[in-house]
Amino acid sequence: MKMLGRGVLVLVLAYLGVCGVLWFLENSLVFRPTRAQDAWQPAPLTDIEDVDLTSADGTRVHAWWLPCPGADQALLYCHGNAGNLSHRGGSIAKLRELLKVHVLIFDYPGYGKSGGRPTEQGCYQAADAAYGFLTDTKKIDPQKILLYGGSLGGGVAVDLASRKPHRSLVLVKTFTSAPDAGATMLPWLPVRWLMRNRFDSITKIRACKQPVFIGHGTRDTLIPFAQGKRLFETANEPKQFYTLVDADHNDALPMEFFTALRAFLEKNP
């Protein structure tokens, strides 16, 4: 019995130790930034402009501005948790071409050429700075701004949409909340209790009153398809869900996705 008790104690201490280590390393697991000096891809188009912004706490935020001649609408692109904005150059070029909108993509603190270190609040403040650039510097009507969030960027976009006027919210392969996503990857840990980064989209999306378009892959091995569906079911009307059949998390979006998105936007101006 003594040996059994000692064995149980060792297991409990080991489990608590693992919990402590993961709690300490949480930010490095949630955010996977790539600094510009480590990996940077040149702008794919000559008319992409570098933009320097400042967030509320004074952090330098770097962005790319891709203008669309004759457009009066803009898309604000919130990217995922890995890499930096230069790795999404092809995506913003495609979005401009297909939707005929200006596109602004920004990096979170600690990513690319942005200063500071990534935190949940820092991501929100960077998004606020980017939104302010569109409304204050470019004088774009808030009701003509599309908020686009992919993966972790969905949590950033939903937060922004819950607080700021906009035309529509577009979410791609994103989660209901960061703890929900973490619990899926580490079901044997009390992730929902331990996690400090929340990105609580499932709660905040209830405050989003503009049209919502959500796409998610049926074979997503990082963020389960069920989370995308649950987020959609919680969202207000008008809304549309696009099923990415047999698509995993990092698979490219098919042309049909953008066709459906464009039709949804035309139906809900």
Q: What is the percent of the chain with per-residue pLDDT over 90, rounded to a whole number?
A: 84
- Tell me, what CATH number does 26's domain have? 3.40.50.1820
pLDDT of residue 176: 98
Which conformational region is residue 6 in: left (phi greater than 0), alpha (psi within -120 to 50 degrees), or beta? Answer: alpha
pLDDT of residue 137: 98
pLDDT of residue 43: 96
pLDDT of residue 206: 98
How many Cα atoms within 13 Å fall on the side-chain side of residue 120?
18
Point out the least confidently predicted range of 6-20, 177-191, 224-238: 6-20
pLDDT of residue 27: 85
The pair of three-digit structure tokens given for residue 124, joined into one six-digit string: 């929100």
Backbone angles phi, psi at 51, to 5 degrees: -130, 130
State the total domains in the chain: 1
> Token pair 């989660």 is at which residue?
175
pLDDT in tens, 116-145: 999 999 999 999 999 999 999 999 999 999
- Residue 107: closest CA among 65, 61, 148: 61
Concatenating the DSSP letter of every residue in 198-258 gives ---HHHHGGG--S-EEEEEETT-SSS-HHHHHHHHHHSPSSEEEEEETT--TTSPPPHHHH
Average pLDDT in the chain: 93
Alpha-helical segments (H) within the chain: 2-24, 26-30, 89-99, 120-132, 152-163, 178-185, 191-194, 201-204, 225-234, 255-267
The pair of three-digit structure tokens given for residue 176, joined into one six-digit string: 């209901």
Looking at residue 188, its amino acid is W
**Residue 177 neighbours by CB distance under 10 Å:** 22
Domain that holds residue 183: 2-267
pLDDT band, residue 151 (cuts 50/70/90): very high
Distance CA 144, CA 167 (A): 5
